[in-house]
Structures are given as structure tokens and as C-alpha cells.
Structure 1
Amino acid sequence: MSEIESPDALQARHRKEQRDLVARITQKKKSATKKTRKGVNDECDRLEQELKERHAREASAHNEGAPETPTGELEVEDARDQEPPQTNGNDLAVDSLSISTTPNEPQPDHQGPKKKQNRAKARLARRAAEQDALAAQAAEEAANLPDQRELERIQMKDLFEKHGLQEKEIRADGHCLYVAVADQMETNGLGLKPRIQPTFNGETQALPPYKAVRHAAADFISQNSDDFVPFMEEPLDAYIQKIRETGEWGGHMELMALAKTYRVKINVLHADGRVDRIEPEEGSSSEDEKVIWLGYYKHNFGLGEHYNSLRKTP
């Protein structure tokens, strides 16, 4: 016969599993990117719900399997609390203990169910208090972390001075990479002249600058799909449609496509001082090559990853 887990052991195991899940969820959310964040959040919600439901089932099963005080003892205790039996004339007084333990005449036990219900409520209250304590602890730990946004902003300002740059802030709306590239192309007098002329509804048309950049990236990726498909997590057509027609964020693949189609070198400055240098062609290093600068932010904007345009200081 398997050993029954004690209430204290059950609660201790539940607390440990809750702490382990909090740590696991925290790690998942820290490592999530802008493209995986929704899926990670959904997975974390599912894990929390599954753990909560399993704990509830185990607590319920434990309650049902817990040994109860024998009926006779409970009824004896109740009988002692009752009024002494009355006698009439020569009638023999019936012993209360005998009545209480007679199987054919069970006495109503109002205390048993009430006590069991109270114990269940107490366990639920303790578990809720433990969960609240864990949430408070996590909030306190988060409050004690350094202000990543302010730290990133200070580091970027120092790097602007080092590289002779000034920042043109771009609205954080999902189009930031394309708006920043368009701003750089226009500010540096490079013009929006991609190798592949962007098309819209099958025709070459004038588009808003950021839209032209989106279509230029989409057309280059579409016509050079062998270089990009291995890095995609969805079909090519769906990926291209997102670039052209939605506010989907752009990333490294789009920067590679734009560097090649516009024949410019794209430098992406990070707060840790790193500069990603995306060449228009492999091995190109001409002193006369055209260069544009973007600033990459990870913490400063509500939608997550963000790009600003970095102009040369006059």
C-alpha cells in the first residue's frame, strides 16, 4: 500500500512547485523576443493554470482520502452534549451512549461536516496567502532591479558623443525600422533607389517613404528567397505579406535585405557599445561606401525592441 502524503508534506511540495514555476516563468519572459513574446506569455498562463488546477485536484483528493474520526466516537461526543434522557413512571431510562452508538438509530451529526468544511476553507486560505506572499516577493525583487530604461538611455547618450551622432526619435508603432531607414536615406541625400523597384498592387507607384522601404525589403527577400527562407519560422508568402501590408516589426533579415537593395552599409548601435555592421555585399570595405546609422533599444519603448535614426552631428 502506498504511503499517504501528509497535509504538511503536500503543502510544502505545492509551495516548492509554485516557486519553481515562478522562476521558470521569469526566465522564459526574460529570454523572449518581440516575435515570441505573445507565445511565451500564452505558455506561461497555461503553465500557471495547469499547476493551479493540479494543486486543486491533489488537495481535493487528499481531503477525500483523509481518515475521519469513527462515527461512533463522534456520536458519543454529541450524545454527551445532549440533555439527559427523561423517564416516565416505571419506564427505564435509556442510556444516551447506547442510543448514540446504535446502528439502527443514528443520531444527526451536525459537527462533522461543519468541521470538515472549515478545514477545507482554512487550507484554501493558507494556500491563497502563500501565493500572495510569493507574488509580493516577486514584485519586491522586480522593484529592486536597476532601472533598465534609464541605464540604457544614459549609455546611448555616451555612445552618441563617442561616434559623433545625434538621435532622431522615431515613433514606436511597429514601423520604426523602416521609418528610421527612410529618414537616414533622405537625410544623407542617398535617395530611395533600391535595386528592385517596389511595386504596389502589381504596379510601380509612389509610396510614403516608410512604405517604400517596406516594399523594397519585401521585394528583395521575395526575389532572393533562397538566402532568407532557412531563417523563417513561417511560409515565405505569409512572411512577405506581413512586411508589405502590416505593422509587423522589422529585424536583422530586413536590415540585410535593405543593405543589399539600397547598396548601403547599415551600422546598428547598441547600448552596450556593440555596433552591428551590415554590409551591402560580402567583403565590401570601400571608403566611399554609403553608411547609415540606427540606434537599437531593448528597454526604452513600450512595444519592446525599437530603432531610432542616428544622424551625424553637424
Structure 2
Amino acid sequence: MDELQARHRKEQRDLQARITQKKKNATKKNRKGVNDECDKLQQELHEKQKLEIAQLDGAPVSSAADNLENLDLKDDENESTENIPTAPPTSTPPATNNDDAPASRGKKPNRQKARLARREAERVAQAEVAAEEAAKQTDHRGNEKEVMDAEFKRIGLKEIEINPDGHCLYSAVACQLDDLGLDLKPDPNRIVLQPTTLSRIDTVASAKHDGYRAVRAVTADFIKEHQDDFVPFMEEPLDEYTKKIRLTAEWGGQLELQAIARAYGVDINVLQGDGRIEKIESADDNADTKRQIWLAYYRHTYGLGEHYNALVQKAT
């Protein structure tokens, strides 16, 4: 019986090692199937050992099951412990000198430790899956910045950082107009400004500091004065739309770029994160007087979302 129990302990250790390895290699997709397979292997070994014990001593099946529960998974003194996947065993109580005392029965397997080991294997497998998925994701921010830097170098542009506060488009335009020596008040032949807009322009302290206030007001006036060109592309009433442009930090987009280009008589080149250059023309046919400004448009690099920076030609 001792020899059979020793063999059964080894079989259980070997199976536990196989199960641990299987669960470590499991993924989200096949984890349930792996768990079911491991449960089946444990049940089959249990039934096999129960039958072998019953055949050896002729005991009923229930007694054989009791003997299996009492098997100690720890190695005997001459057995190797290298493949045991559970935590290190507790120290063995010292032997008694009482020769008449019955042989102590082995401790039952520590099921709590087995559960902890199983959970740890599952945690490791989940972490590996998460790391694999993260590695497959595209680095949009890094790719965008790399493309932009390459285009700046190719075209000969220097980037001027604009505060990402919702006013970035208008601030970048104000910065560019100032660099070109243009007034924030556009040519009156292009647009007749409202008194409130004129007042707003007059109170701008610095084009680079709060010039966005003037550009916002001019943009709103131009859209309102040429509403037939813009209203078909709006999803809200004209008055509400222009009020947001003038008085809030609502982001600017394609319609606002069109209005700015026409109001100030400048062509606007918008460098995209994929290297494309979008051109918004001022509708001024006189090539000799055409002026242009450059903007960098980001979709991923800045935490708040879409963003515009100003671009100026590098000094030669």
C-alpha cells in the first residue's frame, strides 16, 4: 500500500504541474476550455487511483476514496521537490520516540493554496493578453508628431506653440497676422465691421496674447454678412452659431477658416498630421498681393483633442 500511495502522490504532483502550465498558457478565448480540460484530467486521475486502491486491498470504493483524500502531496525524504507548483511545504513535525504510537496520517492537500496558485496563473495570463493587445495598438500621437517634424524640416517652417484652450485657431491666426505686419482690423473694402467688433479690436492688448478676441469677432461678422455662403452648412441657427464664435471658447473649424481667409485676404495652408496640406484660398485673384499663413493641425498629439499651432518660415 505504501508503494502505491507514493506512486499516487507522484502522479498527482505531475498532473498539478501540467495543469499549472496549461493555465499559464491560456488566453481569454480558450481559458474556459482549458479549465474544463484540467477538471476532467483531475477527475480521471482520481477515479483511476480510487480503483487501484480498491483492487489492492479489496476495500469498497468509498474507502478507496477516503485513502485518496489522505494522500500527502509532499515528497518523501528521497523524492525530488523541483516540480511542485505550490508554495513551499511547511516543516515536518519531529518524529516521536514512541514506537507504539500509530503512524501519523499524511495531511490533506492544501486546497486554499491550490486556489491561490490557480488565480495567480489566471492573473499572469490576463496580464500577458493585455500587454499583447497594447503592443498591437497604433501609436497615433507618436506617428503624428514624427510626420509633422519631418514636414516642418522639408518646407522650412518653425512651429509656434499655441495654448490649447479652445481659442487655438483664432490665436494662431492672430499670431500669423501680426508676423505678416497685418492689422487685426481687416480692410474695410472686404467687410464692414459692427461697432462692438471695432471696440473689441481696439481693446486688444497684444496680438499674441489676446488677439483671438478680435479674430473671433471679425469671423462672426463675416459669416453673418455672408450668411448665404455659410448657413447651408450649419446645424444650428445663424445667431446662435455666431454668438458662440464671438463669446465662447467654441473650437473653430472649416467654416471659420473660410471666413478668416476671405475677411483678411490671406491664403491659409493647414498642414495635417498625415503630411497633407489643405489650402483655403481668400478668393483674391491678384497674385501679386496674395499673402499666406501656415497652421499645423493636430488630431492626436494634444490631450484635449484637435489643436492648431502657428507656423512661420525659418530665418535663412
Give the TM-score normalised by structure 1.
0.53
**Deviations 1:224-268, CA, capped at 9 Å, x for gaps:** 101000100111111011000100000010000000000010110
Whole-angstrom distance in 1 between the partners of 2:134 and 2:171:
33
1:275 alignment counterpart: 277
Match for 1:227: what amino acid?
Answer: D
CA separation of 1:220 and 1:140: change in aligned 2, threshold 3 A: farther
| Structure 2 gaps, min length 5 | 1-121, 205-210
Whole-angstrom distance in 2 between the partners of 1:146 and 1:290:
38
1:250 alignment counterpart: 252
Q: CA deviation at 1:193?
A: 2.8
Contact in 2 for aligned 1:198/1:204 (Cα 8 Å): no
Q: CA deviation at 1:196?
A: 3.0
Match for 1:184: what amino acid?
Answer: Q
CA separation of 1:139 and 1:216: change in aligned 2, threshold 3 A: farther
CA separation of 1:246 and 1:162: change in aligned 2, threshold 3 A: same
Number of residue pairs the alignment of both structures matches: 183
Is residue 2:249 matched to residue 1:241?
no
Whole-angstrom distance in 2 between the partners of 1:148 and 1:254:
26
**Deviations 1:54-91, CA, capped at 9 Å, x for gaps:** xxxxxxxxxxxxxxxxxxxxxxxxxxxxxxxxxxxxxx
Q: CA deviation at 1:150?
A: 1.2
Whole-angstrom distance in 2 between the partners of 1:202 and 1:279:
24
Pick aligned residue for 1:185 from 177, 180, 183: 177
Match for 1:196: what amino acid?
Answer: I
Structure showing greater Rg: 2
1:307 alignment counterpart: 308
Match for 2:313: what amino acid?
Answer: K
Is residue 2:147 matched to residue 1:155?
yes
| Structure 1 gaps, min length 5 | 1-128
Match for 1:275: what amino acid?
Answer: I
Question: Identity of paired residues, percent?
Answer: 51
1:286 alignment counterpart: 287
Any runs of at least 4 consecutive aligned residues in structure 1 with deviations exceeding 2 A, and if so which? 136-144, 195-205
Give the TM-score normalised by structure 2.
0.53
Whole-angstrom distance in 2 between the partners of 1:293 and 1:143:
35
Q: Write the mapping of 1:1-314 to structure 2, written as runs, cut at 5 A.
A: 141-194=133-186, 195-196=190-191, 198-199=193-194, 201=196, 204-205=199-200, 206-208=202-204, 209-281=211-283, 284=285, 286-314=287-315
Match for 1:263: what amino acid?
Answer: G
Match for 2:300: what amino acid?
Answer: H
RMSD of aligned C-alpha atoms?
A: 2.7
Secondary structure class of the residue paired with 1:191: coil
Contact in 1 for aligned 2:197/2:217 (Cα 8 Å): no
